[in-house]
A and B are shown apart, each in its own frame.
Chain A
Amino acid sequence: MAARRALKAVLVDLSGTLHIEDAAVPGSQEALKRLRGTSVIVRFVTNTTKESKQDLLERLRKLEFDISEDEIFTSLTAARSLVEQKQVRPMLLVDDRALPDFKGIQTSDPNAVVVGLAPEHFHYEILNQAFRLLLDGAPLIAIHKARYYKRKDGLALGPGPFVTALEYATDTKATVVGKPERTFFLEALRGTGCEPEEAVMIGDDSRDDVGGAQNAGMLGILVKTGKYRAADEEKINPPPYLTCESFPHAVDHILQHLL
């Protein structure tokens, strides 16, 4: 790791890393304060398809985390910045709760399609509309491509199958914007003035958090909270830079060894 430079930025996953549902991972608020006592820039990065930044922020504040809205970077943010970069007017197949994150974006007379987790939009009529836009050359942007998710009444189809349906029908490929895409991590660093080689990512998902970040040139720290299952660290190659018990341990390691 000859090219590694002094650490300047720490990216932190939210769900499973700082909190599990409505409970904070013990000691995390304290650990975040210790991290903020240093000169590093902190960003919070998460794959979400329904919760707007405001929703996330409210939950974190209830748990007494010291976090501001502009420090949060989500897959919805990434979709929005891609839409702005391409200067397109998207048809938004996203949950109503996610709409605040697209405030101010032109959506009339659409020439792009953005797909999140939105069961209420995944039906014949709407999919035909999206399909016709794509055939006319509109880009397809997927917030992520999850196959399914767990609901109280059992497994339910995620956005991935419907993105795949549109890809097949139009012979195109969606641009996926969430973790573990390389561009997601690079976008999260935009505005921090930091290079990937100067950043570390902390998360509970071996592939999406750690693998994705390391693939983008960062260090990755896997925490054994949230969705972590034994031997998850062996699922990626190269393995995580470090695997540790929880977020506070990760912060201790950073303070002692990376600064």
Chain B
Amino acid sequence: MAAWAERLAGVRGVLLDISGVLYDCDAGGGSAIAGSVEAVARLKQSHLKMRFCTNDSQKSRGELVGLLQQLGFDISEDEVTSPAPATCRILKERGLRPHLLIHERVRSEFDEIDTSNPNCVVIADAAESFSYQNMNKAFQVLMELENPVLISLGKGRYYKETSGLVLDVGAYMKALEYACGIKAEVVGKPSPEFFQAALQAIGVEAHQAVMIGDDIVGDVGGAQRCGMRGLLVRTGKFRPTDEHHPEVKPDGYVDNLAEAVALLLQHANK
């Protein structure tokens, strides 16, 4: 048994990343990662509180949850913290009317939002909608604003599809930042507000919580900066070089979610 597992003592709440931890997505939907369906079920039966915390901005929460249910996961929409609803709240609070550079599948999340005469740009994982034309349109909107506001749903570098690794929204966010000479506001992991919102939803303090994810920087590093513990799974986008990351040192490495849950159930109470 790994000695680090003792660091799990005192954990009361668990935040779970979705893509790369529960399942790997692909064009046809996705496939569950071996052992993850059972691991979620075990966690739910335990005394630990849990919440799903995803940066998935390519599909609506409803579609994501429907897909996971089909794969056999016990999950409902109100258990998921995702960036699109959080972004809508910010847009309304600040009276922002976005030009949306997003995937068609997530558009329904923005149904209530006024997009006429835009005064900001919202960028999400638009995948194949990241055409030159669409990027250029967003760029032109920003360049015409006196105070350009760019809101990005996450800033991930890449993630894993069944066919291989693909660029995430963060790369395209950086492209627009560089082109316009601006800094984006990030809604989603690793922003502390986003982790806090997920923790609040289950009533757990950061020092009593652990984040389990496949993104060394966004999941593990972000959670640790908020005072949480962070475990890295060797599934999804994980690459062996992640174990020698110059800045982020996870509290532990696990082969998959199943191993993480087994260790948690064994050590969290101690």
Within 8 A of A (CB), among B62-107: none
* Chain A residues near B (Cβ < 8 Å): 119-120, 122-125, 127-128, 131-132, 135, 147-148, 154-158, 160-162, 164-171
How many chain B residues have a CB neighbour from A under 8 Å?
31
In the bound complex, CA of A44 to CA of B136 (Å) = 33
Contact of B178 among A124, A135, A147 (CB under 8 A): A147
Q: Please state if A165 and B174 are interface contacts (CB–CB under 8 Å).
A: yes
| Chain B residue contacts of A162, Cβ below 8 A | 175
6 tightest Cβ-Cβ pairs between the two chains A and B? A161-B175, A165-B171, A164-B178, A165-B175, A168-B174, A161-B179
| Chain B residue contacts of A128, Cβ below 8 A | 166-167
| Chain B residue contacts of A155, Cβ below 8 A | 139-140, 143
Q: Please state if B130 and A123 are interface contacts (CB–CB under 8 Å).
A: yes
In the bound complex, CA of A148 to CA of B168 (Å) = 22
| Chain B residue contacts of A135, Cβ below 8 A | 158, 165, 239
Q: Please state if A164 and B130 are interface contacts (CB–CB under 8 Å).
A: no
Q: Please state if A124 and B179 are interface contacts (CB–CB under 8 Å).
A: no
* Chain B residues near A (Cβ < 8 Å): 126-132, 135-136, 139-140, 143, 157-158, 164-168, 170-172, 174-181, 239
In the bound complex, CA of A67 to CA of B185 (Å) = 51
Q: Please state if A168 and B171 are interface contacts (CB–CB under 8 Å).
A: yes
Known A-B contacts A123-B132, A131-B165; A169 and B143 likewise in contact (beta carbons under 8 Å): no
Determine chain A's interface SS by DSSP, over half rule.
Answer: helix
Q: Please state if B170 and A169 are interface contacts (CB–CB under 8 Å).
A: yes
| Chain A residue contacts of B167, Cβ below 8 A | 124, 127-128, 131, 165, 169
* Cβ distance A140 to chain B, nearest Cβ, rounded Å: 13
In the bound complex, CA of A93 to CA of B3 (Å) = 49
| Chain A residue contacts of B143, Cβ below 8 A | 148, 155
Q: Please state if A122 and B132 are interface contacts (CB–CB under 8 Å).
A: yes
Instruction: Using CB atoms, name the residue of chain B closest to A147.
Output: B179
| Chain A residue contacts of B239, Cβ below 8 A | 135
